[in-house]
Amino acid sequence: MSDASINTQAQEHEAGFGDYFALLKPRVMSLVVFTAMVGLLAAPGSVHPFVAFASILFIAVGGGASGALNMWYDSDIDQVMSRTQSRPIPSGKVSREEAFAIGMTLSVFAVVMLGLAANMLAAGLLAFTIFFYVVIYTMWLKRWTPQNIVIGGAAGAFPPMIGWAVVTGGISVESVLMFTLIFMWTPPHFWALCLFMKSDYKDAGVPMLHVTHGHRATRVHILVYTLLLAPIAIGMAFTGVGGPIYLSVALLLNALFLYGAVAIWRRDEETAIADNYKRERSFFALSLLYLFLHFGAILTEATLAPYGLGGW
């Protein structure tokens, strides 16, 4: 082997800092940061701003670590699916062993540091979230059942609960409802994406609902979950984190979301193909806004509360 060939090989496979950062799924991390921050700010009581900042950072690192472990375990299917082929492991920039080492190290680091910065309950919840996402969802459910996204969605729903636990050191109706809101929102959000994305889950052997039961069943599931989601989202208005602003936002968004879900349910595949899944795409875009505005409204209520304007 000549020097030139050694150099070429190293050039192709050496990762930059951005490649390691991509292992942490930054887009998912942004959702984790936002919802954890809302949970923390809406909780009764207060923590020192620096403790709050550090706690959010450690929750984000824990979420990122679980993303790295997910990429480590799923590298075989990531290689098959076109959507994930450019990820650091399938593209050959980061090795599986490196991803595993980074994921494990950051997981332990984030949990220990959150325990030291905040409290043991918050750290325990973070540890459970990482375990749930990596072991329950990635290793077990994802390749086993078409309901994978339903139960796996719980992993993404924990951050506001952790943020709440950072301040209160406990779990309450409000934090459980914030968890349930994200938990019930995940299936319709993700299944809407599945309807219009040309995915290759079938080639990868992942039993997604639209692959195993078809688009008709997926449309029905979207409607059912949206119907179940509405009372939870609106009901939260009457708890400690709700108020008139949240109620107005929830009523409007759930009416729009239900309208979209019914429209999706009424459509057949031919009509959807004819307009390139216009309704499904707009429902997916609305779902992003739905979650953002619900948590935004909780944040608004919490921010206005000290001035006597938020809450009931």
Q: Which residues bind other proteins (CB under 8 A)?
A: 7, 10-11, 14-18, 20-21, 48, 50-51, 54, 57, 113, 116-117
Answer yes or no: are the C-beta atoms of 156 and 27 closer than 8 Å.
no
CB 61, min distance to other proteins, A: 10
Among residues 15 and 251, whose Cβ is nearest to other proteins?
15
Shorter beta-carbon distance to other proteins: residue 15 or 139: 15
Number of alpha carbons in the 13 Å side-chain half-sphere of residue 129: 35
Q: Which two tokens stand for residue 74?
A: 């799923």
Angstrom distances, CA of residue 235 to CA of 59, 253, 303:
27, 13, 20
Six token digits for residue 244: 């008139």
Angstrom distance (rounded) from CA 20 to CA 13: 13
**How many whole angstroms separate alpha carbon 29 and alpha carbon 36?**
10
Largest CA distance in the chain: 75
Q: How far is the CB of 79 from other proteins (least distance, A)?
A: 22
Closest distance of CB 124 from other proteins, Å: 19
CA dist 145 and 125 (Å) reads: 25
- Of 94 and 150, which CB lies nearer to other proteins in the complex structure? 94
Which C-beta is closer to other proteins: that of 59 or that of 181?
Answer: 59
Q: Which residues contact 298 (CB under 8 A, 6 or more apart)?
A: 38, 42, 178, 236, 241, 242, 246
Assign residue 138 a region: left if phi > 0, alpha if psi is -120 to 50, beta otherwise?
alpha
Residues 6+ apart with CB under 8 A from 124: none
Shortest Å distance, C-beta 279 to other proteins:
43
CA angle 292, 134, 290 (to 5 degrees): 10
Closest CB to other proteins among residues 81, 102? 102
Angle subtended at Cα 210 by Cα 204 and Cα 216, rounded to the nearest 5 degrees: 160
Q: Which residue number, 54 or 291, has a Cβ lying nearer to other proteins? A: 54
Task: Tell me how far, at minimum, the Cβ of 155 lies from other proteins, in Å.
Answer: 25
Cβ nearer to other proteins, comparing 56 with 154: 56
Comparing CB distances to other proteins, the nearer of 5 and 11 is 11
Residues 166 and 125 sit within 8 Å (Cβ to Cβ): no
Instruction: Write down the least CB distance from residue 63 to other proteins, Å.
Output: 16
Q: How far is the CB of 200 from other proteins (least distance, A)?
A: 30
State in angstroms the smallest separation of the CB of 11 from other proteins: 5
